[in-house]
Amino acid sequence: MKSYITESIKDDFLQSLKTIISYPSVLNEGENGTPFGQAIQDVLKKTLDLCQELGFKTYLDPQGYYGYAEVGEGDLLAILCHLDVVPAGDLTDWETPPFEANIRDGRIYGRGAQDDKGPSLAALYAVKSLLDQGIQFKKRVRFIFGTDEETLWRCMARYNAIEEQASMGFAPDSSFPLTYAEKGLLQVKLHGPGSEQLALDIGGAFNVVPDKATYQGPLMEQIQAGLISADYDYQQNDQNLTVLGLSKHAKDAGQGINAVIRLATVLDSIQSHPALTFLAKEVGQDGQGKGIFGDISDQPSGHLSFNVAALTITPESSEIRIDIRIPVLADKDALVHQLIECAKSYQLSYQEFDYLAPLYVARDSTLVTTLMQVYEEKTGDKSPALSSGGATFARTMPNCVAFGALFPGREQTEHQANEYAILDDLYHAMDIYAEAVYRLAT
């Protein structure tokens, strides 16, 4: 089968990706009057400048929430991308600087290499390769660049409020072959009483299983004894003690080791506090919330996932931040009721922070069948379409799916230290995207 991807396209793509990775586009809300931070605003403008150089018409939202670049005429085919990234975390865990792209052993390392700067630019240069071949588009191919995907998706909320919707589209922000169903995403906060004896601020982003939880205070010796008894990994110096876990994306919470839960469980045996007891007794380490909800699963999308992302305790109040991925056929309202009732018994009140309804596109639709056919022809892989606990921009528009760019069997390094993408895989994805856009838009 013909490939539109030339060596020149690959070279240009790689230079652009190095540039885009160099922007530390982590949320810093309101910085310099920007909605999500100066670095995010800068990388959005730089990406649109790049698109204009490649022959696309571009538009920047006056408030800086999103931008888009398009070619062609007719109905809208959307490619939904994002330029923001999660924080780098502990820089000592990185072998090379997270915002300085490094290439070694056929891989490109840097925050965003896999999620989602690498796949986004692979799709962009795939369309550029079609332009170079003189392909005439019968649809408008529009790259929509979001800037708030890793937090609240406010970029796409604004886009959808004022811009045209696509007739179909895909997001290069997941795994091949294709994801046609995505679980509902519920993020909540549980508020409770404070403590004069405890001061904690542990964990991080909602969508990451926390792999470190640090304690500093008078209970260090008792906590150390508890960690040894429980056989939990930790590090200690004169100033603090850090419980160690295993970071995973929240959709795979059951595969991670939650350091916040481990510290809370040990602390609960030493210092009484409702938030600690709730985490130790009701949540535990299973990552599926079975202690609260029972075993919740369905055939299309599998088990519920439950990630305690962070815990804060001050003299005035406490707060637990939780990310829940709800199977597509489960009753969200019933699950919320169960959580509220369980939390009440621990003096905790419920606040919904964010909710994204599940995604479902029929497997026999034109979009899904076309993309699946292209993938199979380009790879020889006959794996079926997938369902996922992940939340991609595909669910922000009707008739959109998640399509690549991580190939089956490859290591998922998004949100982790030393995030990388295999260059040959990005070039292969680029070839798949070029053929997919050719069939959908011409």
CATH number at residue 339: 3.30.70.360
Based on the domain organization, do 332 and 377 belong to the same domain?
Answer: no
12 and 150 together in one domain: yes
Statement to judge: residues 346 and 383 lie in one domain: no
Q: Rounded to the nearest 10 degrees, what angle do helices 117-132 and 423-441 cross at?
A: 50
Mean pLDDT of 278-284: 97
Average pLDDT over residues 213-233: 95
Query: pLDDT at position 2, please?
Result: 86
Specify the range with the lowest mean pLDDT, choosing from 18-22, 216-220, 243-247, 357-361.
357-361
Tell me, yes or no, whether 127 and 225 share the same domain.
Answer: no
pLDDT at 357: 85
Task: Say if residue 367 is in the same domain as residue 344.
Answer: no
Q: What are phi and psi of 175, to 5 degrees?
A: -130, 150
Structural contact between residues 411 and 249, judged by C-beta atoms closer than 8 angstroms? no
In a domain, 384, yes or no: yes
Banded pLDDT at 389 (limits 50, 70, 90): confident
**Is residue 134 domain-shared with residue 273, that is, in the same domain?**
no
pLDDT at 332: 97
Kindly state the average pLDDT of the residues 333-360. Answer: 95
Indicate the length of the chain as a whole number: 442
Same domain, 196 and 267: yes
Regarding whether 23 and 145 lie in a shared domain, the answer is: yes
- The residues that bridge with 241 in the sheet, in sequence order, are 215, 236
Which of 308, 337, 356 terminates a domain? The answer is: 356
Using 50, 70 and 90 to split pLDDT, how confident is the model at 225? very high
The predicted pLDDT at position 178 comes to 96
Comparing C-alpha atoms, which of 424, 327, 7, 388 is closest to residue 171? 388
Domain boundary among 356, 374, 395: 356
In this predicted structure, the answer to whether residue 152 has a pLDDT above a threshold of 90 is no
How does residue 328 score in pLDDT terms, banded at 50, 70 and 90? Answer: confident
**Quick one: 247 and 300 in the same domain?**
yes
Q: How confident is the model at residue 3 (pLDDT cuts 50, 70, 90)?
A: very high
Average pLDDT of the chain is 96
CB 145 within 8 A of CB 156: no
Average pLDDT over residues 263-292: 96
Active site residues: 84, 149
User: Mean per-residue pLDDT for 295-320?
Assistant: 95
Can you give the pTM of this predicted structure?
0.75
CA distance 280 to 427: 46
**Domain-embedded: residue 436:** yes
Where residue 63 falls among pLDDT bands split at 50, 70, 90?
A: very high
pLDDT of residue 363: 87
Query: In the predicted model, is pLDDT for residue 166 greater than 90?
Result: yes
The region of weakest confidence among 13-17, 100-104, 182-186, 310-314 is 182-186
Distance CA 422, CA 113 (A): 9
Does one domain contain both 154 and 189?
no
What residues does 181 pair with on adjacent strands? 360, 387
What pLDDT is attached to residue 391?
77
For residue 129, name the pLDDT band (cuts at 50, 70, 90): very high
pLDDT above 70 coverage of the chain, percent: 100
Chain centroid to CA 287: how far? 17
Same domain as 369, residue 292: no
Examine the pLDDT at 301 and tell me if it is beyond 90.
Answer: no
Q: How many domains does the chain have?
A: 2
Q: Measuring CA to CA, how many Å separate 113 from each of 58, 155, 226, 261? A: 23, 21, 39, 30
CA distances from 336 to 294, 297, 307, 398 (A): 13, 16, 15, 26
Which of 356, 386, 420 delimits the end of a domain? Answer: 356
> Would you place residue 406 in the very low, low, confident or very high pLDDT band (cuts 50, 70, 90)?
very high
Pick the closest to residue 214 from 240, 247, 246, 245 (CA basis): 240
Helices 423-441, 7-21: crossing angle, 10 deg rounding: 110
Q: Is 264 helix (H, G, I), strand (E, B) or coil?
A: helix
Give the separation between CA 402 and CA 170, rounded to whole angstroms.
5
Q: Is the pLDDT reported for residue 356 higher than 90?
A: no
Label the pairing between strands 140-146 and 76-82.
parallel
Is 2 a domain residue? no
Give me the pLDDT at residue 362, please: 85
> pLDDT (tens digit, 9 = 90+) per residue, 83-122?
999 999 999 999 999 999 999 999 999 999 999 999 999 9
| 288 and 193 assigned to the same domain | yes
* Residue-wise pLDDT tens digits, 245-277: 999 999 999 999 999 999 999 999 999 999 999
Per-residue confidence (pLDDT) for residue 254, from 0 to 100: 94
Distance CA 182, CA 328 (A): 7
- pLDDT given at position 241: 95
The distance between the two most distant Cα atoms of the chain, rounded to a whole number of Å, is 70
**Average pLDDT in the 136-146 region?**
97
Domain with 212 in it = 184-356
Mean pLDDT of all residues in 298-303: 87
